[in-house]
Structure 1
């Protein structure tokens, strides 16, 4: 009896071990290799095969499958024989010229699971050292942008006044960061949205990373703190303009209506989130204009923190520098000029930072007219005994 049970368990184990298809995967989803250099990546099997399988490689550049050696960015990778006694094989990838490539695998072996979703993104670069420099630059401008909110908060606290800080700018800012936050959180944390994205971009990379989410949530928090200061500190009769109110009401009304369209499944939730990214883009284009105009009318930058401007300028400049270095390292200038929106918005913000620096250090340097803006937004001269309100 015991012998029969042993035989049954042996058969069951054999079925479990050899009855199903084997899964072949790359050891990493990305690989970086220098031109004329070689990097290695492993192909792994979850269990041994019953018979030898031949695996060959596919090459995708952009949306096209390349099969001509002259057009490849890497040297053709030789076919791999997976014998019955191996579960891992190392593949050498040698760079030819800079660029991006999707390295996939295929096989006629029926024992292997579908390999269409198995691939590795290969970046062929000029220099690995330049990649490290780019990573360092990325962290520096991330910190610069994150810290850039605090000089204004500190200035408001020290002066016990928000006179000189334009309320339209704050409203545009919180709207932009909230919209950007909805987009980032949805793209990074909601499984159904990520599924929709990869259905449209099967071999793409999620454009939202964890640092994007953290930065946005932090920006919303600090901007809310700054808005809170406007309710407790001297504000000199300042208020949100009618133009700003109408524009933002229109933006949020659009988002609200689009929500019901998404609930009614007329658009996907991915498309709905992209609407928020468009709101963010629109806000970024106009948010600095009210503050620049206010500085011009007052002939002063008092109340508008130059520390915020300098840190924002540092972050924006380093961001553009990184974009150019990445484009050079990968010989992919379309990443800059093929996406004029991203490049244009960064460049646009830097231009306003330069304008603010000119206003602060050149045009209105040392000027302290002791002026406030009343509810009609006309300039009112304040007697000298009221200087404490804006110092």
Structure 2
């Protein structure tokens, strides 16, 4: 396997990689904190999280397999050349593991907190079932010849496809509500930064090696960065320009009204009466 030609570029590669990891790792927390404070997941699209779980689990399998398995590394080098470097770094494995765990936490919040009438759509559930059925078929096809690089490339393709489609339900929901209320913009800003750092890391490696093969050899990582940057830009446009400051008004098709506040008792001379107040929606 090839070695680094420039120590400064190697240091920059590691630094940018871990900055990307930190940005993407922290990106999972703002939504979790927002859900915890509101005790509600209204405004967060459930399909987004379900597809996200499939995406992160596929990405974890791909990264861990290519980083830890010497057999798969050998197959990679045989295909792309022994002068190339393995395009998966330790921060990629750490990020995908961490992201998988955080997505599970959000799904637990969806099961526990107030969610109105929001549900997982049959389309998202169907997509997930088809994906994992195809994975099982591909595994048994690869088993006789031990074509493990081909198998993990399937996982790489899956996580790219999930990245392409997972953001759309949330973007559409924001458009229908004319609001980003309930969806954390802090997560989007960190996700955007992670995409930029992730792409930059691959560029640094290519500059050092004088070759762009690592982009084609790990096209999934490239597309994830570019798709994340694109959709994050859409979410920032929605939050800061199109629906700036607008609270979510969701129709009955999306959820039921939030917690109604019960009026306080007011004391009157010689008796206690209860005054009704208009129901207020808690944000």
Q: Same fold (TM over 0.5)?
A: yes
* Contact 1:236–1:372 (Cα < 8 Å) also in 2: no
1:366 aligned onto 2:245: yes
Residue in 2 that maps onto 1:214: 94
CA deviation map 1:81-103 (0-9, x unaligned): xxxxxxxxxxxxxxxxxxxxxxx
Which secondary structure state, in structure 1, belongs to the residue aligned with residue 2 of structure 2?
strand
Which secondary structure state, in structure 2, belongs to the residue aligned with residue 387 of structure 1?
coil
* Cα distance between partner residues in 1 of 2:70 and 2:220: 27
Shift of 1:227: 0.4
Aligned pairs for 1:271-290 (under 5 A) are: 271-290=150-169
* Cα distance between partner residues in 2 of 1:324 and 1:192: 26
1:300 aligned onto 2:179: yes
* Contact 2:21–2:92 (Cα < 8 Å) also in 1: no
Aligned residues: 264
RMSD (CA atoms): 2.8
* Contact 1:261–1:267 (Cα < 8 Å) also in 2: no
1:223 aligned onto 2:103: yes
Gaps of 5+ in 2: 261-277
Residue in 2 that maps onto 1:387: 281
CA deviation map 1:162-218 (0-9, x unaligned): 011111110111001111112222233345444544555672433333322221111
Shift of 1:282: 0.8
* Cα distance between partner residues in 1 of 2:70 and 2:14: 28
Shift of 1:321: 3.4
Aligned pairs for 1:1-391 (under 5 A) are: 121-125=2-6, 128-198=7-77, 200=79, 203=82, 204-263=84-143, 265=144, 268-328=147-207, 330-332=209-211, 342-371=221-250, 374=253, 377=254, 385=279, 387-388=281-282, 391=283
Higher strand proportion = 1
* Contact 1:185–1:213 (Cα < 8 Å) also in 2: yes
* Contact 1:237–1:372 (Cα < 8 Å) also in 2: no
* Contact 2:180–2:248 (Cα < 8 Å) also in 1: no
* Cα distance between partner residues in 1 of 2:217 and 2:142: 30
Indicate how the Cα distance of structure 1 residues 214 and 139 shifts in structure 2: closer, same or farther if over 3 A, else same: closer
* Cα distance between partner residues in 1 of 2:70 and 2:223: 31
Indicate how the Cα distance of structure 1 residues 254 and 289 shifts in structure 2: closer, same or farther if over 3 A, else same: same
TM-score, scaled relative to structure 1: 0.60
Gaps of 5+ in 1: 1-119
Bigger radius of gyration, 1 or 2? Answer: 1
Indicate how the Cα distance of structure 1 residues 250 and 373 shifts in structure 2: closer, same or farther if over 3 A, else same: farther
TM-score, scaled relative to structure 2: 0.81
Shift of 1:328: 4.4
* Cα distance between partner residues in 2 of 1:238 and 1:161: 11
CA deviation map 1:56-104 (0-9, x unaligned): xxxxxxxxxxxxxxxxxxxxxxxxxxxxxxxxxxxxxxxxxxxxxxxxx
Which secondary structure state, in structure 2, belongs to the residue aligned with residue 246 of structure 1?
helix
* Cα distance between partner residues in 1 of 2:61 and 2:9: 33
Indicate how the Cα distance of structure 1 residues 228 and 316 shifts in structure 2: closer, same or farther if over 3 A, else same: same
